[in-house]
Amino acid sequence: MDAMNTLARKMLSKADAIVHFDEAHAHCDYPCGIYDPYDAQVAAHTVIRMDDLIAQLTHPDKHGENDDLEYHHSLERATAIKEKYAEVCKHELRVLWGDYFKPEHAQANPNLHNLVFTAMKQASKAKQTFDVKQAEALLETVMQIAEAFWKTKNIESKRVEAPYPTKRQMVVPKLY
């Protein structure tokens, strides 16, 4: 069997040298059984935090070159981070929706499809605006998905204050 694996690897390596296969990245497109809505919640908190930080920025009254550059630099960085984490949130939800949730989960949670659809739209809207209410709506929907997720595992969940500067909640499993 090792000889077959070695031969197959050599053949694939030679084919890759000619064709240049794209490198695959995923978590993990193998039935590993490791799924959790935690990262989607953290990403939604990050979107809220960036909106909070953007709201705290003050445009310099004097248009001194350094002050103006610092303001725009901070605004652009916070915006880029916010957009990145809105997309991370969408990615994490797509993994749950496409790889974890099964038809029986949707039957047991009739609103599940609508929740995922809504969260995707909310994440897009959060990228387009500087409106913390949009980001809060995203977090709320993601928390509802997290509650549905833990329900599919027959594990009770609870909302707790997240340990982040956002001062908002997140859903965690009651493990004991």
Q: Which of 146, 162, 173 is nearest to 48 (CA)?
A: 162
CATH architecture of 35-173: Up-down Bundle (1.20)
Q: Is the pLDDT of residue 5 over 70?
A: no
Tokens of 164: 């982040």
Cα(30)–Cα(111) distance, rounded to whole angstroms?
27
H helices of 57-161, where?
65-95, 103-108, 112-128, 132-152
This prediction's pTM: 0.82
- Note the pLDDT of residue 44: 98
* pLDDT tens string 81-131: 999 999 999 999 999 999 999 999 999 999 999 999 999 999 999 999 999
* pLDDT tens string 146-160: 999 999 999 999 999
- Note the pLDDT of residue 4: 63
- Note the pLDDT of residue 31: 75
Cα(11)–Cα(51) distance, rounded to whole angstroms?
51
- Note the pLDDT of residue 6: 77
- Note the pLDDT of residue 139: 98
* pLDDT tens string 160-176: 999 999 999 999 999 98
Residue 136, φ and ψ in degrees, nearest 5: -65, -40
Three-state SS at 155: coil
Cα(86)–Cα(28) distance, rounded to whole angstroms?
21
- Note the pLDDT of residue 62: 63
- How many other C-beta atoms can be found within 10 angstroms of the C-beta atom of residue 71? 15
* pLDDT tens string 34-60: 999 999 999 999 999 999 999 999 888
